[in-house]
């Protein structure tokens, strides 16, 4: 089984700081939420939307109101009355089962400017689906758009854009990107050769690329062991950065992680934009 979130060692490109003992304690809020947290997203409402693949058998939490999912495409359980997504309410420490209809295994997503969660793709019958969780209503559930994507997306990366759309980049055997929502219903995907160049034969090593919006409006896209600055509006690479030291892959299958470090704004200007890339494994290792 391929897990989406495995973080192994950490390679830090910063000066180590001396650790200060901060005290504090851990407490267990709930012994179980009924599903595995393969994916999680904190909403502005202080609720956490959690979801797991649907094709791994029953979970430990039932769907609400005796609902069941009949999915002839599911590989393991065609009739399933258990939930594979939940909403965790931090304030009340409670869990509410949610219903996903298609397989969200190794999908991707992100928040829209209005605070709703848009989550795209997945495996099998979920690979072209766009799912929306609207945070504006208290008891909302997932709404699915079956053919919301132009391409199948499995292990793609999403990023919200200044115009309020999301860009959805890559995924297995997808060397392209697309937007949600579409500018027009017929809008297709756009090719992105960088994902061909960074795809290692048999190992891929460039799935779930690390994507950040740069202060100049372009996207910083890191895949495998190198990065480019990409103008998604003109479909053009505007800068190619040097490869990482050692050249080992930082993305899938031994997926590391990356973060845009806090921007230092001085007189309305950001002098330096820094991205920290952490983890990965030598080529050929899982």
Ligand X SMILES: *[C@@H]1O[C@H](CO)[C@@H](O)[C@H](O)[C@H]1NC(C)=O
Q: How many Å apart are CA 65 and CA 274, to the nearest integer?
A: 48
62 binds ligand X per the rule CB under 6 A: no
Min separation Cβ 15 and ligand X, Å: 40
Interface pick for ligand X out of 4, 6, 11, 34 (rule CB under 6 A): 34
27 binds ligand X per the rule CB under 6 A: no
Min separation Cβ 40 and ligand X, Å: 14
Residues 147-181 as b/e (b if ≥16 CB within 10 A, e otherwise) read ebbbbbbbbbbbbeeeeebbbbbbbbebbbbbbbe
32 binds ligand X per the rule CB under 6 A: yes
Backbone angles phi, psi at 149, to 5 degrees: -110, 150
Q: How many Å apart are CA 81 and CA 187, to the nearest integer?
A: 37
85 binds ligand X per the rule CB under 6 A: no
Q: Is the dihedral of CA 1, 82, 128, 75 positive or negative?
A: positive
Binding residues for ligand X, total number by CB under 6 A: 6
Interface pick for ligand X out of 60, 215, 235, 240 (rule CB under 6 A): 60
Backbone angles phi, psi at 164, to 5 degrees: 95, -10
Q: In this chain, which stretch among 32-40, 68-76, 215-223, 249-257 interacts with ligand X, using CB under 6 A?
A: 32-40
Min separation Cβ 177 and ligand X, Å: 33
C-beta closer to ligand X: residue 60 or 73: 60
Residues lying near ligand X in the complex (CB under 6 A): 32, 34-36, 59-60
């Amino acid at each position: 089984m391929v897990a989406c979130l495995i973080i192994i060692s950490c390679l830090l490109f910063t000066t180590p700081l001396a650790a200060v003992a901060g005290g504090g304690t851990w407490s267990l809020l709930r012994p179980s939420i009924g599903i595995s947290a393969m994916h999680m997203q904190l909403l502005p409402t202080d609720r956490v939307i959690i979801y797991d693949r649907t094709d791994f058998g029953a979970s430990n939490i039932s769907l609400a109101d005796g609902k069941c999912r009949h999915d002839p495409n599911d590989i393991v359980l065609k009739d399933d009355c258990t939930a594979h997504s939940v909403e965790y309410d931090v304030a009340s420490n409670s869990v509410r089962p949610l219903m996903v209809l298609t397989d969200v295994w190794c999908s991707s997503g992100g928040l829209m400017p209005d605070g709703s969660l848009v989550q795209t793709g997945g495996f099998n019958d979920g690979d072209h689906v766009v799912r929306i969780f609207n945070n504006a209503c208290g008891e909302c559930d997932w709404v699915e758009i079956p053919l919301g994507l132009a391409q199948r997306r499995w292990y793609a990366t999403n990023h919200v854009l200044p115009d309020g759309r999301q860009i959805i980049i890559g995924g297995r055997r997808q060397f392209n990107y697309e937007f949600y929502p579409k500018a027009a219903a017929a809008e297709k995907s756009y090719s992105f050769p960088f994902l061909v160049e960074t795809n290692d034969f048999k190992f891929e090593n460039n799935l779930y690329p690390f994507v950040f919006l740069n202060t100049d409006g372009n996207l910083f896209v890191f895949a495998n062991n190198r990065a480019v600055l990409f103008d998604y509006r003109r479909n053009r690479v505007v800068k190619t950065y040097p490869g990482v030291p050692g050249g080992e892959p930082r993305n899938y299958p031994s997926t590391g992680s990356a973060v845009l470090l806090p921007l230092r704004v001085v007189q309305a200007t950001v002098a330096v934009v820094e991205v920290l890339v952490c983890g990965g494994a030598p080529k050929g290792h899982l």
